[in-house]
Amino acid sequence: MTENSDSQANRLRPVGHAMLAVIIALVLSSFLDARALHKSAVNQPAGTGRDLAMAATGALQGVSNFTQITQIRQGIANVVGLGDKDTINTKVIIPIKAPAPPIVPTKLAKPTKPVVPVKEVFSPQKKMKLYFGGDSLMGTVGLAMEQIGPRTGVMTVEPADFHISTGLNRPDAFNWFSHLTEMLKVEDPDVVSLMFGGNDADAYMSGLPENAKQSEHFGDAVWKQEYRRRVGGMMDLATQKPGRLVIWMGEPQMEESALNEKIIKLNEVYKSEAAKRPGRVIYLDLYSLFSPNGAKYSDTITVGGIKKVVRAPDGVHITMEGGAVVSGEVLKLLARQYDLRNFTPASLSLTG
Amino acid sequence: MVRPHRWRIFITLASYIFYAAWDWRFALLLAGSTIINQGFAVAMHRTSDQQRRTALLVATVVVNLGILAYFKYWNFFADSGQAVLGNLGFEVPSLLVHTVLPVGISFFTFMALSYVIDIYRGDQKPTTFAKFTVFLSFFPHLVAGPIVRPAELVPQFEPPPDPRRIDTTRAFALIAGGLFKKVVIATALADFVDPVFGAPNQYSSLVVLIAIYAYAIQIYADFSGYTDMAIGIALLLGFKLPQNFDRPYSSASLREFWRRWHMTLSRWLRDYLYIPLGGNRKGRTRTYINIMLTMLLGGLWHGASWTFVIWGALNGLGLVVDHWWVSRRSERGGREPATSGPRRWGMIFLTFNFVCLAWVFFRQDSLGGATNLLSHLFTNWGQPSPQITIGVILAIAALMVTQFTPPSVGQRLRGLFSGFSALGQGACLGVVLMVINLLGPYGVAPFIYFQF
């Protein structure tokens, strides 16, 4: 059957018919999708656009709820297992009480010698399980680690759990607090590596505690207090299980100076919150790694005499090669922290 | 009725605004390409001196391919050259440049080339500058095709389409179907495929195998979904663009596959590369060489990477074997290729699996990545495969079913839809949009073919 015969079989209509059909389709689907549209509006960056979108979709949702038309979508969603898709979850669930500091097992080598902490052993028989989660910057790091980690023979790496345009500011857009809780339950990793910040360089936060004030400017005292609470909360959440280690990756330098100034403030929070949790959280300084000795932004670094392109052309993201460099640092850190049998970072080629 | 010149100004402005939304500098590049190619075309038409015409053609090809090469291939050749010289002991400074590839540059460059080459061949006369501008920048095909020939689109500008006679049924079917393929099928499969292709050693061999099939469906749903929407939108404006896919995974040979997959690129390569190289007119060996060259360059067209070269080489090799097999059978008086029955199903299975194998090289960033993935097809059987969900199987099955559904089924459904009033059609489309919105994710990845 040819296209022409198809076209001949169809009734040709005036353009007004097409426009009317499109308008009806859009209006009807707007009411059917009212809850989803409202969620999209809520997820927008703070500002007039979001306020207008929320007002419009709020009204749409009101009509849709009143006429029960929204139930059609919800009914289908329930049948296909997507019943929660349109729910807006802004709950910032973090532990009220921080876990107790780890008790490091020790042994007395000889009565006269100092106490030696016993490192936890991981081997081909008892492999370490690693989880990498965060925003888009974590993407290439997690993917590189997925490839490199298993080659050590002593670790398995869960698929990189990165979600583009997410962070800790906006649980309405993506609720990392709920998501991490769920992932830890499912994956139960020994080491959790997290990286956020690229999408948190903004004063607006959703999911604030009741009666809490919204910060007026990024970096002000109100912002700092709430952001610290969230970062520390994520660290405590991940280390609820005794013995689990968190590697919190700081943000690398950004090419755009205005964004970079904010990144420096974010990194201060991550570093100081990690320092409050010795033995449970280690801060990995990617800023210094990619800009050694306070160097200006560059998309390349020299590792072992070889120049590597570590940053993407957008001046923000990390390339796969950069991800491999970070993976190398993670492996070095883990080799210091644990007894990884038959493995030393130097024995592994990161590019093979 | 809208006056033609006003319509052309409007659609040109709309197309340029659409294109400049990515980066305004891209619009300058498009305008530059339009001016240069129209200049060459007019100059070529004005002279009857064959030598001068040939010189102008060479200049056109050099300028167009030069611009394309700069944006697409400079880093590839600079990097490869530096590595080769480095291996020979020569220290060469890095010549890498950081350029952003303008969206759709390969598509509009090929369209501009076909315009000037057709004029050189005498198949086409230069059109007016205004019409050529619309032809090259017409937004539905601008960023990812289909690759339209001047003779297919330019005559439709005069007289402009009759706004009282629009094939709304086919347009709506294409747009809704394309949207479903892209938003629901391609995105759902991308979530499954990406981690497996990224780290195959983490998964069982069964998961790797299903991921290879899933990628074949993903790229088809992604690319054909885009072109369906492009053709549908053009139809709503009253213009017919050429078909770009015709159920390619139901092909019983590689030759048939390439007649059904990215059809407008296949015929471009055939008419402007394979036939000028001599096609099948210069003996069997030259035919095979021409096929290999065409497919290798077709692979490189997709990007500057050895994986695309291997992908092109595999397809070229497959086509050579196909040609050799067919000519050998006809020489021996063998049977005609089966059009139905188990033999045809066997050939479809073989062709599909070969195409999937080649896609592995197309998808992976490096040869090492591709061979690593393929090696994991054999090393991890018997492992649990929880990643293969009902959703993944349904997405693959749904698209495969469409490959074997006779076109008459779709036509009957469209015939039914065609009889509905605007209210009826709008209501149907509204429900389809709701289903797509529900099954699709929040936020959809860019089209795969935008990078080419």
Residue with tokens 């857009």: A173
Instruction: For residues A126 and A68, state if they share a domain.
Output: no
> Is residue A343 pLDDT above 80, yes or no?
no
3-state SS, residue A34: helix
Name the A residues in 205-234 with CB < 8 Å from any B CB.
none
Rounded (5°) CA angle B405-B406-B407: 115
Structural domain contains residue A87: no
Size of interface A-B (CB pairs under 8 A): 148
How much is the pLDDT for A308? 85
Q: How many domains does chain A have?
A: 2
How much is the pLDDT for B215? 95
Instruction: For residues A57 and A110, state if they share a domain.
Output: no
Instruction: For residues A60 and A138, state if they share a domain.
Output: no
Q: Which has more pLDDT, B337 or A288?
A: A288
Q: Which residues of B are catalytic?
A: 302
Percent of chain A topping pLDDT 90: 47
The dihedral formed by the CA atoms of B62, B63, B67 and B73, expressed in degrees to the nearest 10:
10
In chain A, the residue whose alpha carbon lies closest to the alpha carbon of B410 is A6
Tokens representing B105? 């540059």
In this structure, the strands spanning A245-249 and A161-162 are unpaired
Instruction: For residues A46 and A116, state if they share a domain.
Output: no
How much is the pLDDT for A25? 95
How much is the pLDDT for A1? 41
By the 10 Å C-beta count (0-12 exposed, 13-18 middle, 19+ buried), B50 is classed as exposed
pTM beyond cutoff 0.80: no
How much is the pLDDT for B118? 92
Q: Which has more pLDDT, A342 or B354?
A: B354
For A193-199, what is the mean pLDDT? 94
> Is residue A157 pLDDT above 60, yes or no?
yes
> Is residue A15 pLDDT above 90, yes or no?
no
- Partner-chain residue, chosen from A15, A18, A82, that has the shortest CB–CB distance to B438: A82
- Partner-chain residue, chosen from B426, B434, B442, that has the shortest CB–CB distance to A40: B442
- Partner-chain residue, chosen from B422, B427, B434, that has the shortest CB–CB distance to A33: B434
CB B135 within 8 A of CB B115: yes
Q: What is the pLDDT of residues A78-134, one digit of tens each?
A: 888 888 888 877 788 777 776 776 665 555 555 555 556 678 889 888 999 999 999
CB A169 within 8 A of CB A206: yes
Q: What helix, strand, coil percent values describe chain A, rounded to 5?
A: 45, 15, 40
Instruction: For residues A118 and A243, state if they share a domain.
Output: yes
By the 10 Å C-beta count (0-12 exposed, 13-18 middle, 19+ buried), A56 is classed as middle
Structural domain contains residue A91: no
Question: Any CB–CB contact under 8 A between A311 and chain B?
Answer: no
Chain A CB contacts of B195 below 8 Å? 146, 159-160
Q: What is the pLDDT of residues B58-91, one digit of tens each?
A: 999 999 988 888 887 777 777 677 777 777 777 6
How much is the pLDDT for B26? 87
Tally the C-alpha atoms within 13 A of residue B218's C-alpha that lie toward its C-beta.
Answer: 27
Q: Which has more pLDDT, B306 or A20?
A: A20
Q: How far A40 CA sits from the closest chain B CA (Å)?
A: 8
Chain A CB contacts of B419 below 8 Å? 11
Chain A CB contacts of B365 below 8 Å? 320
> For residues B396 and B185, what is the distance between their CA atoms, to the nearest angstrom?
8
Task: Give me the amino acid identity at A319.
Answer: T
How much is the pLDDT for B14? 92
**Which CATH number covers residue A216?**
3.40.50.1110
Structural domain contains residue A291: yes
How much is the pLDDT for A326? 95
pLDDT confidence tier of residue A352, bands split at 50, 70 and 90? very low
Give this complex's ipTM.
0.77
- Report, as ranges of residue numbers, the positions in chain B whose pLDDT lies below 70: 1-4, 79, 91-100, 334-339, 384-385, 442-452
Instruction: For residues A155 and A271, state if they share a domain.
Output: yes
- Write out the residue range of the structural domain in which residue A45 sits: 3-79
Chain A CB contacts of B443 below 8 Å? 164-165
In which element (H, E) is residue A116 found? Answer: strand A116-117
Q: What is the pLDDT of residues A245-256, one digit of tens each?
A: 999 999 999 999
No. of H helices and E strands in chain A? 11, 12
Instruction: For residues A210 and A330, state if they share a domain.
Output: yes
Percent of chain A topping pLDDT 70: 89
